[in-house]
Structure 1
Amino acid sequence: MTVAHCASVSALTLGLPASCAIPEAKSALPKQMFYVKPPVSARLKQRFVGDVESITMLALLRPNTIGVAAGTKVREVLVMGIEQNCKDAPVEVMEHIAKLRSGSNILFVCVRDAAFADENSNAGGKANANGNTSPAKSGETQCAFAVQRISSVRAGHQGEAQMRTYVSQWQEPKSAQLSLDGESLDDVWQNLCAQVIFGDADGSDLDARIAKREAIAELTAQIAKLEGDHARAKDGVKRNEIFVKLHKAKKQLEALQQ
């Protein structure tokens, strides 16, 4: 059996077992099926038309295809390849596809031309339907993984939990590997998410790890702003107020990083 490929990437190149790979003859997913019915906005249609070259089903992870116990929350995991014509992962496209396939968890494999990694690669390029410039093809590719998870609302923050897309760093296809660790499909999904978000296969306490990383990023940005405000402040009282806030933020960051 010839397995499905998305450019240079397949289930086998990702380190997945052949038992879960989709045959090439059944793998192509026409872009139109995602934006014709139901109809989408003109902006989103342009994303599909201009930013996406092809969409391919690479693998289907189920208890019977990867030899794990059934999950209580996760029924199946689709591994879907998106060959793109743009520099950044097409998040809007992936979010729309995920909404249409709400009964499945999806791990996206985005594949782009390696020339996009070069800031100067757009010279002489061709504009796509969105006005974005595609680079002259280098022949080499890079890939990144993406998953969606419900983000938790941290204590002291308002709002409801929302679905959020996490995208990994870009890497060469030969380095892009996935491991199917865990006794059940629930475990496998958690560990796959950890590989995308943190670069490791430890899916334990994943929501807490994500919340901690986001809190660190938020405090780091807050500290940078306060340091700038403190340096610019001329009034002594104002400088003291900012200093107190800055000291508090630094102590909070220090505690999180321990």
Structure 2
Amino acid sequence: MYGLPSTVTVDQTLPKNAFYQRLSLAAPVKDEFVHGIEELRVVASIKEATCGIPTSGSIEEISVLRIVLKTDELPRKALDAIASAVPRKMLMACCHEGRACLAVVRDGLRASERWIAEEQMNIELRGASLAEVWDGLCAQVLFDDVEVEDVDARMAQEERIAELEAEVIKLKRKYAKEVQPAKRNAAFRTYKQALAELRALKGE
């Protein structure tokens, strides 16, 4: 399934009601379980015994969880609760009406912006250890690029780009409205500095 080696394939249904009823969840999170999720099923167990890739640090197993959704809106609070309740790394394949997107929890819930046909979903296992495999899986979800060498650094860069994009818009408006020459020139310099950093990070 999903292009994964047959040796890692499993088929384990997680009873949805039993799963969320044993957790202490706020009402909005329970509501997402009830109205947003149809089925939970573990479809792969990636560990040394099943794929031959050695453990590394605290990562001994990575589960792939297929989550059938009732709508095409991701139940983010419920997904976060699921990941928090499972004591291992987890890649979530969120599926709805033949389409799917991937999600992981890494410094908060992170979901791919790409929905593709589920039958075309291809998950690559890259790395000499499960820690490297996990980084590769996160890179596939976050950047659609398994070749990313430092996922945390790339995440920080993407966050900085988003911050600068918002800041550049704000600074441009500020200097455009400024009428006093000295303040306008200072605002323009600040705007150009932010714009230069943004372009450098984007490689423009």
Tell me, yes or no, if the aligned pair for 1:71 and 1:184 is still in contact at 8 Å.
yes
Alignment partners' CA distance in 1, 2:15 and 2:154: 37
Question: 1:178-217 to 2 correspondence within 5 Å?
Answer: 178-217=123-162
Shift of 1:22: 1.1
Partners of 1:187 and 1:197 lie apart in 2 by 15
Give the CA deviation at 1:28: 1.5
Measure the CA separation in 1 of the matches of 2:197 and 2:156: 14
* C-alpha deviation, 1:21, in angstroms: 1.0
Name the structure 1 match of 2:108: 164
- The structural deviation recorded for 1:187 is 1.4
Q: What is the root-mean-square deviation of aligned Cα atoms in Å?
A: 1.7
Structure 2: unaligned runs, 5 residues or longer: none
Aligned to 2:66: 81
2:196 aligned partner? 251
Using the TM superposition, give the Cα deviation of residue 236 of structure 1 relative to its aligned residue in structure 2, in angstroms.
Answer: 4.2
How many residues align structurally?
A: 202
SS where residue 89 of structure 1 aligns? coil
What is the TM-score with the length of structure 1 in the denominator? 0.73
Query: Which structure carries more helix by proportion?
Result: 2
- Give the percent of matched residue pairs that are identical in Structure 1 and Structure 2: 32
SS in 1 for 2:140: helix
Distance 1:177 1:112 in 2: 17
Q: Secondary structure at the match of 1:40?
A: coil
SS in 2 for 1:107: strand
Q: For residues 41-98 of structure 1, what are the alpha-carbon distances to aligned partners after superposition, in whole Å with 9 as ceiling and x for unaligned?
A: 1111101001111111111111111121222231100100111123332221111011
Q: Does 1:224 align with 2:181?
A: no
Alignment of 1:61-140 (within 5 A): 61-101=46-86, 103-113=87-97
Determine whether 1:177 maps to 2:122.
Answer: yes
CA apart distance, 1:104: 0.2
Runs (5+) with no aligned partner, structure 1: 1-11, 114-140, 150-162
- In the alignment, the residues of structure 1 paired with residue 192 and residue 130 of structure 2 have an alpha-carbon distance, to the nearest angstrom, of 45
The residue number in structure 2 matching 1:57 is: 42
User: 2 CA distance for matches of 1:84 and 1:252?
Assistant: 40
Shift of 1:203: 4.4
CA–CA separation in structure 2 for the residues paired with 1:182 and 1:201: 10
- Picking from 97, 101, 105, the partner of 1:148 is 105
Q: How far did 1:250 drift? A: 0.9
Instruction: Indicate the residue corresponding to 1:130 in structure 2.
Output: none
1:204 deviates by 1.7
Q: TM-score, normalised by structure 2?
A: 0.91
> C-alpha separation between the residues in 2 aligned to 1:111 and 1:237?
56
Deviation at 1:249, TM superposition (A): 0.3
**Aligned counterparts of 1:94 and 1:72: Cα–Cα separation in 2:** 25
Q: Which residue of 2 aligns with 1:39?
A: 24
Which digits, 9 at most, give the CA deviation of each residue in 1:197-221, with x for residues without a partner? 1112124211111111111121112
Q: Deviations over 1:120-147 (max 9, x none)?
A: xxxxxxxxxxxxxxxxxxxxx2110011
Give the structure 2 partner of residue 18 of structure 1.
6
User: What is the CA distance between 1:170 and its match in structure 2?
Assistant: 1.2
Equivalent residue letter for 2:4: L
User: Is the contact made by 1:30 and 1:55 (CA closer than 8 Å) also made in structure 2?
Assistant: yes
State the distance in 1 between where 2:24 and 2:150 align.
39
2: CA distance, partners of 1:235 / 1:31 = 63
Q: Is the 8 A contact 2:9 2:45 kept in 1?
A: yes
Query: Structure 2: how far apart are the matches of 1:180 and 1:38?
Result: 31
3-state SS, counterpart of residue 22 of structure 1: strand
Contact kept in structure 2, 1:187 and 1:203, CA below 8 Å: no
**Aligned partners of 1:255 and 1:234: how far apart in 2?**
30
Q: Distance in 1 between matches of 2:35 and 2:176?
A: 45
